[in-house]
Amino acid sequence: MSEQGARRGQEDDWWRQLYGEDGAEGGEGAGGGGAAGGAAQAGAAPAAGAPTGAGPADVGPAEASDTLDERVASVLRTVGPPGWGDRPPPQPTPADAPGRAAPAAPAPPDETPPRAAPAPPDETPPRPEPDRPAPPADKTPTPGPVPPGEPPARRVPSPPPPPSEPIPLKATGPGARPRDVARSAPPPAPAVMYIGDRPPTYEAEPAALPAADPAALDELVPDTALEGAQYGSLTLRAASQRGDSARYRGDVRRDALLTARFGAGRHALILVAVATGRPAVEGAHRAARDACGWIGGAVGRSYTQLAEDIRADRRGDLKAGLQRLTDRSYGKLRARALERGGPPEQYTAALRCLLLPADPDCRTRVFFGVGAGGLFRLRDGAWTDLESVATDHGTPAPIPAPTRATDAPDRPGPGLPHGPGTAEYPAHPEPFLFHAAFARPGDALLLCSAGLAEPLRQEPAFAAHLADRWSTPEPPGLVPFLATAQLRAKGHAKDRTAVAVWEA
């Protein structure tokens, strides 16, 4: 019994020297369990890196608490560079218990001082938490005794390694196939902006807006008008835009476009009218708009009889009736010129119209009009000019008798001089144009103003490009149609209006 008591007293002295008074008091307060508690703590000590089999002589004076940070600092002072462990340590927390297993720690850094990790661009870099010491590495040598009065240094963690390049992952599975570059769709061909050796003088995009009257804002004309429809076997595309010259100078578009449907079902009749006012004449766009409006009203009031004549192919009756309606429209234009106090030969417009029955069993297309412009047929990739077939070489259309007192042409208006071409001597209108044709599947009929007819007749490359773009199995959409009609050619800067009808 004396030998066991002496051995227990020796163990109590060893633990008292290792953990100070607190450890001794804890052992004594446990009573008979002090030996068991000491044994448990002794069993945890080797796991923390303490050498086994050490006696009381192996432990130095413990003036400071023996913590994990102190052991790590002691190891760094022993194996690290000079001054490595001379930094103040963080304050220990209750989580740093002597018997707690220590996690792994990275290897000691080399001679180069570690660089701080880059901080996010918009956030303040976080400060290191003082209550979380850096974990030591596995198989760390046993730290030596800490000299009294010398605090262990804080260990700065090493910067994280730079991110590596992303590794491309290959798709796997039954449906994953490598992309075949050779089979990918080719990029679309660039649009042809102009034909010829040199670009046109003016820019392609609008530069100036027309001047506006605050009291007549309803008379403003947009730069571009676009229309389309599909009835039975026909597909309609229509576009009207200012010319390059008008876009540069800020002039209003003198071309007018009207598309209207009268009736419904198989008995419906579609009218497309294109009018162009005279150049360099004030109010020319109003004359073009009035010409389209008046011929549209006349056709709309007689569309039932006109549709019946078209289906029955009564071309003689059609020509006589349409010429009479056209003459009435031009008579109104001359009367409006007198009301405005201007010469009738200036307040006029070139007018061209198409009548298209909506009946899918009727493929007769009727053209009529007066003035400059063009009528073409595209068949098998080649253009045919139908102007000579449509020209009536007979006598000019007669001038209708005035229907109102203000329409009387027997006396000039205020300030209107006497002479040829005035109200006293009215100008003779141009010949009336009429043509009725049977459309075949695959044909395309083009009705246009002079701004498009002139380059189509005078520039072979221009005509070839339009034929190539519009000789497709399917009619183009509105935007592709407008892009093709905008093809520019040097010396052709007038307003353009194009109406195309594709037959299925």
User: Does 163 score more than 70 pLDDT?
Assistant: no
pLDDT number for residue 417: 31
Q: Cβ neighbours of residue 45 under 8 Å, at least 6 residues apart?
A: 98, 99
- Give percent of the chain above pLDDT 70: 57
Q: Cβ neighbours of residue 228 under 8 Å, at least 6 residues apart?
A: 235, 236, 237, 238, 478, 481
Beta strands 432-438 and 224-231 are: unpaired
To 5 degrees, how large is the angle CA 293–CA 247–CA 191?
100
pLDDT band of 201, cuts 50, 70, 90: confident
Please tell me the distance from the alpha carbon of residue 15 to that of residue 51, in angstroms, as a whole number: 15
Please tell me the distance from the alpha carbon of residue 464 to that of residue 477, in angstroms, as a whole number: 20
pLDDT number for residue 154: 55
Q: Cβ neighbours of residue 329 under 8 Å, at least 6 residues apart?
A: 291, 294, 295, 298, 351
Is pTM beyond 0.75? Reply is no
pLDDT number for residue 208: 93
pLDDT band of 418, cuts 50, 70, 90: very low
The residues pairing with 489 across neighbouring beta strands, listed in sequence order, are: 195, 492
**Per-residue pLDDT tens digits for 462-484:** 999 999 999 998 999 999 999 99
Instruction: Please count the residues of the chain.
Output: 504
Quick one: 311 exposed, middle or buried, by C-beta within 10 A (0-12, 13-18, 19+)? middle
pLDDT band of 4, cuts 50, 70, 90: low
- 410 and 422 in contact (C-beta within 8 Å)? no
User: Does 448 score more than 90 pLDDT?
Assistant: yes
In Å, the largest CA–CA distance within the chain is: 156
